[in-house]
Protein backbone atom coordinates (compact mmCIF):
# COMPACT_ATOMS: atom_id res chain seq x y z
CA UNK A 1 0.00 0.00 0.00
CA UNK A 2 2.73 2.47 0.93
CA UNK A 3 4.46 1.84 -2.38
CA UNK A 4 1.56 3.42 -4.24
CA UNK A 5 1.97 6.60 -2.28
CA UNK A 6 4.52 9.24 -3.01
CA UNK A 7 6.60 10.49 -0.12
CA UNK A 8 5.04 13.93 -0.42
CA UNK A 9 1.62 12.38 0.03
CA UNK A 10 2.76 10.63 3.18
CA UNK A 11 4.33 13.80 4.56
CA UNK A 12 1.09 15.62 3.71
CA UNK A 13 -0.82 13.08 5.79
CA UNK A 14 1.70 13.52 8.60
CA UNK A 15 1.37 17.30 8.56
CA UNK A 16 -2.40 17.02 8.53
CA UNK A 17 -2.01 14.55 11.39
CA UNK A 18 0.03 17.08 13.38
CA UNK A 19 -2.35 19.99 12.74
CA UNK A 20 -5.46 17.99 13.52
CA UNK A 21 -3.75 16.17 16.36
CA UNK A 22 -3.52 19.56 18.07
CA UNK A 23 -7.08 20.48 17.08
CA UNK A 24 -8.33 17.13 18.39
CA UNK A 25 -6.65 17.71 21.74
CA UNK A 26 -8.27 21.15 21.84
CA UNK A 27 -11.67 19.68 21.10
CA UNK A 28 -11.14 17.21 23.90
CA UNK A 29 -11.24 20.21 26.27
CA UNK A 30 -14.26 21.74 24.48
CA UNK A 31 -16.07 18.40 24.81
CA UNK A 32 -15.20 18.33 28.48
CA UNK A 33 -16.66 21.83 28.84
CA UNK A 34 -19.89 20.91 27.04
CA UNK A 35 -20.11 17.85 29.20
CA UNK A 36 -19.80 19.77 32.43
CA UNK A 37 -22.46 22.24 31.25
CA UNK A 38 -24.84 19.46 30.21
CA UNK A 39 -24.17 17.12 33.14
CA UNK A 40 -26.48 18.89 35.64
CA UNK A 41 -29.34 18.37 33.19
CA UNK A 42 -28.52 14.67 33.06
CA UNK A 43 -27.32 15.03 29.46
CA UNK A 44 -23.57 14.81 30.06
CA UNK A 45 -23.19 12.01 27.53
CA UNK A 46 -24.05 14.37 24.72
CA UNK A 47 -21.19 16.77 25.45
CA UNK A 48 -18.87 14.72 23.29
CA UNK A 49 -21.44 13.39 20.86
CA UNK A 50 -22.21 16.86 19.48
CA UNK A 51 -18.64 17.44 18.41
CA UNK A 52 -17.62 13.83 17.80
CA UNK A 53 -17.50 14.34 14.03
CA UNK A 54 -14.44 16.56 14.29
CA UNK A 55 -12.37 13.49 15.19
CA UNK A 56 -13.03 11.98 11.75
CA UNK A 57 -12.22 15.08 9.70
CA UNK A 58 -8.62 14.23 8.89
CA UNK A 59 -9.73 11.02 7.12
CA UNK A 60 -12.10 12.96 4.92
CA UNK A 61 -9.67 15.78 4.12
CA UNK A 62 -6.76 13.46 3.33
CA UNK A 63 -8.84 11.06 1.24
CA UNK A 64 -10.49 13.94 -0.65
CA UNK A 65 -7.11 15.52 -1.45
CA UNK A 66 -5.01 12.44 -2.23
CA UNK A 67 -7.71 10.05 -3.54
CA UNK A 68 -5.90 6.75 -3.14
CA UNK A 69 -6.83 3.52 -1.34
CA UNK A 70 -5.89 3.41 2.33
CA UNK A 71 -5.48 7.15 2.76
CA UNK A 72 -8.56 7.68 4.95
CA UNK A 73 -7.43 4.89 7.27
CA UNK A 74 -3.75 5.80 7.43
CA UNK A 75 -4.24 9.54 7.91
CA UNK A 76 -6.48 8.95 10.93
CA UNK A 77 -3.98 6.43 12.27
CA UNK A 78 -1.18 8.99 11.89
CA UNK A 79 -3.27 11.62 13.68
CA UNK A 80 -3.70 9.09 16.49
CA UNK A 81 0.05 8.45 16.70
CA UNK A 82 0.74 12.19 16.70
CA UNK A 83 -1.63 12.70 19.60
CA UNK A 84 0.27 10.04 21.53
CA UNK A 85 3.52 11.86 20.67
CA UNK A 86 1.98 15.08 21.95
CA UNK A 87 1.23 13.26 25.21
CA UNK A 88 -2.50 12.69 25.17
CA UNK A 89 -4.10 11.46 28.37
CA UNK A 90 -6.03 8.92 26.31
CA UNK A 91 -2.82 6.91 26.08
CA UNK A 92 -1.54 4.49 23.44
CA UNK A 93 -5.03 2.98 23.14
CA UNK A 94 -5.91 6.09 21.19
CA UNK A 95 -3.97 4.64 18.23
CA UNK A 96 -6.39 1.73 18.22
CA UNK A 97 -9.46 4.00 18.42
CA UNK A 98 -8.04 6.08 15.58
CA UNK A 99 -7.51 2.96 13.46
CA UNK A 100 -11.12 1.91 14.02
CA UNK A 101 -12.48 5.34 13.07
CA UNK A 102 -10.24 5.43 10.02
CA UNK A 103 -11.48 1.99 8.96
CA UNK A 104 -15.07 3.25 9.16
CA UNK A 105 -14.31 6.18 6.86
CA UNK A 106 -12.24 4.01 4.54
CA UNK A 107 -15.16 1.62 4.14
CA UNK A 108 -17.30 4.30 2.47
CA UNK A 109 -14.54 5.10 -0.02
CA UNK A 110 -13.84 1.41 -0.61
CA UNK A 111 -17.50 0.85 -1.55
CA UNK A 112 -17.05 3.31 -4.42
CA UNK A 113 -13.75 1.62 -5.30
CA UNK A 114 -11.98 4.88 -4.41
CA UNK A 115 -13.39 6.63 -7.49
CA UNK A 116 -16.17 8.82 -6.15
CA UNK A 117 -15.37 11.84 -3.99
CA UNK A 118 -18.61 13.80 -4.21
CA UNK A 119 -20.04 15.41 -1.10
CA UNK A 120 -22.47 12.58 -0.44
CA UNK A 121 -19.66 10.02 -0.28
CA UNK A 122 -17.70 12.26 2.09
CA UNK A 123 -20.79 12.51 4.28
CA UNK A 124 -21.15 8.71 4.18
CA UNK A 125 -17.50 8.38 5.17
CA UNK A 126 -18.09 10.62 8.18
CA UNK A 127 -21.11 8.54 9.15
CA UNK A 128 -19.18 5.30 8.62
CA UNK A 129 -16.53 6.50 11.04
CA UNK A 130 -19.32 7.48 13.46
CA UNK A 131 -20.82 3.98 13.39
CA UNK A 132 -17.47 2.22 13.80
CA UNK A 133 -16.40 4.44 16.67
CA UNK A 134 -19.80 4.07 18.32
CA UNK A 135 -19.57 0.28 18.34
CA UNK A 136 -16.02 0.51 19.66
CA UNK A 137 -17.11 2.88 22.45
CA UNK A 138 -19.82 0.44 23.51
CA UNK A 139 -16.93 -1.68 24.69
CA UNK A 140 -14.06 0.71 25.37
CA UNK A 141 -16.01 3.39 27.24
CA UNK A 142 -18.37 0.92 28.90
CA UNK A 143 -21.33 2.49 27.06
CA UNK A 144 -22.88 -0.95 26.83
CA UNK A 145 -24.12 -0.41 30.40
CA UNK A 146 -26.31 2.51 29.32
CA UNK A 147 -30.05 2.46 28.65
CA UNK A 148 -31.09 1.66 25.04
CA UNK A 149 -32.98 4.94 24.47
CA UNK A 150 -29.94 6.91 25.52
CA UNK A 151 -27.65 4.88 23.26
CA UNK A 152 -29.95 5.35 20.28
CA UNK A 153 -30.11 9.10 20.70
CA UNK A 154 -26.33 9.22 21.20
CA UNK A 155 -25.86 7.33 17.94
CA UNK A 156 -28.17 9.70 16.07
CA UNK A 157 -26.34 12.76 17.38
CA UNK A 158 -22.98 11.22 16.52
CA UNK A 159 -24.11 10.34 12.99
CA UNK A 160 -25.26 13.91 12.37
CA UNK A 161 -22.04 15.24 13.86
CA UNK A 162 -19.99 12.90 11.66
CA UNK A 163 -21.90 13.94 8.55
CA UNK A 164 -21.58 17.68 9.21
CA UNK A 165 -18.33 18.22 11.13
CA UNK A 166 -16.35 15.60 9.21
CA UNK A 167 -18.07 15.30 5.81
CA UNK A 168 -19.29 18.82 5.05
CA UNK A 169 -16.68 20.80 6.99
CA UNK A 170 -13.92 18.54 5.68
CA UNK A 171 -14.92 19.15 2.07
CA UNK A 172 -15.26 22.87 2.66
CA UNK A 173 -11.78 23.14 4.21
CA UNK A 174 -10.18 21.08 1.44
CA UNK A 175 -11.85 23.23 -1.23
CA UNK A 176 -10.66 26.40 0.50
CA UNK A 177 -7.15 24.95 0.57
CA UNK A 178 -7.32 24.01 -3.09
CA UNK A 179 -8.21 27.63 -3.88
CA UNK A 180 -4.93 28.80 -2.38
CA UNK A 181 -3.08 26.66 -4.92
CA UNK A 182 -1.04 24.60 -2.46
CA UNK A 183 -2.66 21.36 -3.64
CA UNK A 184 -1.50 21.66 -7.26
CA UNK A 185 0.63 18.55 -6.90
CA UNK A 186 -2.18 16.37 -5.50
CA UNK A 187 -5.26 14.71 -7.00
CA UNK A 188 -7.70 17.38 -5.82
CA UNK A 189 -5.62 20.23 -7.25
CA UNK A 190 -5.17 18.39 -10.52
CA UNK A 191 -8.90 17.82 -10.84
CA UNK A 192 -9.54 21.52 -10.26
CA UNK A 193 -7.06 22.48 -12.95
CA UNK A 194 -8.76 20.14 -15.41
CA UNK A 195 -12.10 21.72 -14.62
CA UNK A 196 -10.67 25.19 -15.14
CA UNK A 197 -9.14 24.23 -18.47
CA UNK A 198 -12.43 22.77 -19.60
CA UNK A 199 -14.19 25.97 -18.61
CA UNK A 200 -11.70 28.10 -20.52
CA UNK A 201 -12.33 26.37 -23.84
Partner 1 sequence: MISSINPAMKAVTIMVPGLLLSFTFDVFTPLVYFIFILIITFTLADIRPMTWLKIFSPFVLVALTSAWMATLYANQTFSYGNVLFTIWGVDITEGSLMTGISLGLRSLCFVALSLLFALTTDSTKFMLSLMQQFKLPPKITFGILAGYRFLPVFRSEYQILKQAHRIRGADREPGIKGRIKQFRRYAIPLLANGLRKSERVAIAMESKGFTGDKERTHYHQMSIQTKDWLFFILFAGMLAITIAVSYSLGYLNIFGRQF
Angle between helices 187-200 and 169-180 (to 10 degrees): 70
Q: What is the DSSP letter of 168?
A: I
User: CB 111 → partner 1: shortest distance, Å?
Assistant: 25
Distance (Å, whole) CA 174 – CA 16: 11
Binding mask 119-148 toward partner 1 (x if CB under 8 A, else -) reads: --------------------xxxx-xxxxx
Measured distance CA(39)–CA(45) in Å, rounded: 8
Q: Report phi then psi at 91, rounded to 5.
A: 75, 180
22 belongs to the binding site for partner 1 (CB under 8 A): yes
Q: Are 68 and 134 in contact (CB under 8 A)?
A: no
Size of the site for partner 1 (CB under 8 A): 55
One residue of 135, 155, 168, 173 binding partner 1 per CB under 8 A: 173
> Considering only residues 71-110, where is the footprint of partner 1 by CB under 8 A?
74, 78, 81-82, 84-85, 87-93, 95-96
Rg of the chain, C-alpha, whole Å: 17
Q: How far is the C-alpha of 60 from the C-alpha of 67, rounded, in Å?
A: 10
Q: Minimum CB separation from partner 1 for residue 98, in Å? A: 13
Among 177, 187, 192, 193, which residue interacts with partner 1 (rule: CB under 8 A)?
Answer: 177
The residues binding partner 1 (CB under 8 A) are 2, 5-8, 10-19, 22, 32, 35-36, 39, 42, 44-45, 74, 78, 81-82, 84-85, 87-93, 95-96, 139-142, 144-148, 150, 173, 176-177, 180, 182-183, 185
Amino acid sequence: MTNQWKLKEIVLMAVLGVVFGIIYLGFFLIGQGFRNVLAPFGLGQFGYEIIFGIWFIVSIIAAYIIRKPGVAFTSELIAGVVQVLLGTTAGPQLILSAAIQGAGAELAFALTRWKDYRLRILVFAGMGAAIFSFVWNLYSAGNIALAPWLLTSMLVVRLISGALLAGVLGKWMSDQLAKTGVLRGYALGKERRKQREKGAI
